[in-house]
Structure 1
């Protein structure tokens, strides 16, 4: 089978391309630009396009499947040629479903925490030698790729993203998967460029709950108001299970969970992770894994990349990196680090990088989200606003939106980096939060300079 990727360089797309290549398919692709790590990883597997650009003359009847990435546009020359030839064009999630439609599908969704719970379940299944396919939105320790597809694995674990499927398929990705076991972590408004109202955003999660396979299990976080409502309106054949945060004790900077009279020391911390672990436990129970085996395995889980990841640590200082950009996740992450290390000063740095976070109408959602930090720095790049065709914002507007006196706002990354490098880090933690890189910070290298 010959599969061609239009916009192969995306984070999700290049991982799917590698997975299908490993499965034995003939894979080709095109893109107008490809950056690392996608570039290096595609090159490693012989999948890097020989030249950048779109080449409609290469689209022909010998291609069995076209997979269209979000980076492409509706008028992409290769897409137009594929449509002219009436080739089958799939979105990324649609083809994942096509590959796994005969497997037991487990899908983890929600506005935050879905990558972490997916990673936790994968970690446990691997420890217990389960065979499974997967798709997850971050690099996980012990896994070479973010996507794996096989001929014989009986189950598939998917992270369920609510963002759009492709330029010509405007359904949220997770509407495609029709899971047998589904988990939702909570609903907190995001992607306002696609879902301009709160009601429209919430509706996508209601549609997801109704898309479950017959006799499926729906697992949901009990403290979320929207999920409480959704759980009351499930189909009669769906089993509903609610979960909450696991109680834990803090000893020597480590979180200790006691379950069924046995104590387990965790490698992660924070209220969200204690929620996530309990959700992952309930998914694993649906797969026949007992609680003792689950906790023995999960105790060694160190987190997914950029999910409260410890970049560097010494005696009384640590540098953390988190993907947090939505208001609810930002607040939870700052509070988690402060609670875990109450004796240390916390310097929290947040980058406004997504379409939602840079939108001046959305900015008030960030009120008080960094109040738990001793010092808070918020950074935005005016050039990113221009690139996203958003109205300009200024430092005063951002400062007023966050609403606390501990916040200082920067629009120049050089000034922020200089301030951080000149600061004293004795008995102090540094927390970076962004879906970007603060306009060019190498976080690992920067962490080493901080702790030097």
Structure 2
């Protein structure tokens, strides 16, 4: 096939382009901005466009498929030319479905946890020597690409999300996969992260369940109240339903043990979210024919590779972790996980807030009391990120302190101030948790960890 990518520089798009080129397809692409690591990877594989920009003259009638990325818009000149020529235009999930129509499709979805569960399942299957195709949303340890799509594998694992498939296709991506087996890790509506109503957001997952093939299987987290209600509202679907719950566990000397009857299985991850994700991953692997003993032997050496309670460094019995911060719920659960894992140690939690989010009172109010379990709470709002002269750092500081209402609270307005704070803090007997935003992050976690350890 001759395949052209509009917006080839995207994380998934460039990985898919490379995968298709490796299979022998004739692949071309364009973009008006390509950054690392996409740029180097495309260049290595001979797919880097000769020039940045959009070139409608490159869209010709002999193209079999155009794959449209979200970075393009509806008036993109190449898209308009492809529509004029009546070429077949795909979103990447639509194209992947067409290429996997004869495979067993497994889709993992959920507001949080889907990438972690995907990484757990992929880790187990790889350790057991099972080959499979996949699409995942983050670079995982042990896997070179976000996409593997071959003509021969009979199984494909797909991470599915609820966002638009493409600029011209406003269906949710995970509505296009039609899974034989689907897993939903949990559903949580967050007003600050979505511009649709709670009812409409939940409806995306109801529709996803409706897309499961007849006599297919839904695996779902029974501990999530919202998800249970969604599953009950879709009871007319003729599918198998298999719920899972948080497993029993214990913690001894900083190691979490999963209970399986009399057996105690040591893990290299911790926290209730990780344990719930393991329960989901096990249930999914069980449906794929993996034996119980094989799964638990393989999961023993699984490490978080996507910055969920990810180990950064340790010194003098103090440990530093980093975690992505998507919501107040995630902040609370991550703080609780570290405190539960190390009950004899104090905890310093540092989080960065985007100043343009903080000016929204509804956004900020959601964080009320969310750092109560941490012994020291630090919030960074980097004044260098403020371009609007009407936003006053003093007003932000007052509002933030009022919301968090923490006895040991520190507000910082610069990276330099954070550096001084860490150098002066006596770290002996304390752990450190960085809650970093995937979109607005000024924190060099490794460098700041060294400063934390210096003064003990």
1:413 aligned residue:
415
Question: Using the alignment, how far apart are the partners of 1:203 and 1:386 within structure 2?
Answer: 37
1:47-126 residue pairs with structure 2 within 5 A? 47-126=47-126
Per-residue CA deviations over 1:95-116 (Å, capped at 9, x if unaligned) read 2212212111111111111110
> 2:437: which partner in 1?
435
Counterpart in 2 of 1:245? Answer: 246
Shift of 1:447: 3.4
Shift of 1:304: 2.3
- Alignment check: 8 A CA contact 1:325 1:354 kept: no
Query: Which residue does the alignment assign to 1:9?
Result: 9
Show the counterpart of 1:303.
304
What secondary structure, in the 3-state scheme, does the structure 2 residue paired with 1:137 have? Answer: coil
Cα distance in 2, alignment partners of residues 415 and 297 from structure 1: 44
Matched, 1:30 2:30: yes
Alpha-carbon spacing, 1:366–1:447, altered in 2? closer, same or farther (3 Å): same
Does the CA contact (< 8 Å) of 1:135 and 1:159 recur in 2?
yes
**Distance across 1 between alignment mates of 2:190 and 2:23:** 35
8 A contact 1:175–1:211 mirrored in 2: yes
Partner of 1:319: 320
For residue 259 of structure 2, give the secondary structure of its aligned residue in structure 1: strand
Between the aligned partners of 2:7 and 2:163, the Cα distance in structure 1 is 17
Q: CA deviation at 1:298?
A: 0.6
Two-structure CA RMSD over aligned residues (Å): 2.6
| Change in CA separation of 1:402 and 1:71 when aligned onto 2, cut-off 3 Å | farther
Q: Is the 8 A contact 1:353 1:436 kept in 2?
A: no
Instruction: Provide the rounded CA distance (Å) in 2 between the counterparts of 1:8 and 1:384.
Output: 29
| 1:289 alignment partner in structure 2 | 290
Gaps of 5+ in 1: none
Corresponding residue for residue 347 of structure 1: 348
Q: TM-score, normalised by structure 1?
A: 0.92
CA distance in 1, matches of 2:416, 2:73: 34
C-alpha separation between the residues in 2 aligned to 1:330 and 1:149? Answer: 35
Q: 1:305 to 1:193 in 2, by over 3 A?
A: closer
Aligned with 2:14: secondary structure? helix
Point out the more displaced range, 104-113 or 46-55: 46-55
Paired residue secondary structure (1:67): strand
CA distance in 2, matches of 1:88, 1:137: 25
Mapping 1:365-444, distance limit 5 Å: 365-381=366-382, 394-436=396-438, 439-444=441-446
For residues 359 and 197 of structure 1, do their structure 2 counterparts lie closer, same or farther at Cα, with a shift above 3 Å needed?
farther
User: Which secondary structure does the structure 1 equivalent of 2:366 belong to?
Assistant: helix
**Structure 1 CA distance for aligned equivalents of residues 387 and 209 of structure 2:** 37
Task: For 1:49 and 1:449, locate their aligned partners in 2 and report how far apart those are by CA, in whole Å.
Answer: 42
Paired residues, number: 450
| Distance (whole Å) between structure 2 residues aligned to residue 198 and residue 373 of structure 1 | 30
Distance of aligned partners of 1:401 and 1:42 in 2 relative to their CA distance in 1, 3 Å threshold: farther
**Structure 2: gaps spanning 5 or more residues:** none
Quick check: 2:346–2:429 contact (8 Å CA) kept in 1? Answer: yes
Which has the larger displacement, 374-383 or 102-111? 374-383
Moved more, 438-447 or 36-45: 438-447
Q: What is the CA–CA distance in structure 1 between the aligned matches of 2:61 and 2:130, rounded to whole Å? A: 39
Q: Aligned-pair distance for 1:192? A: 5.0
Distance 1:64 1:267, change over 3 A: same
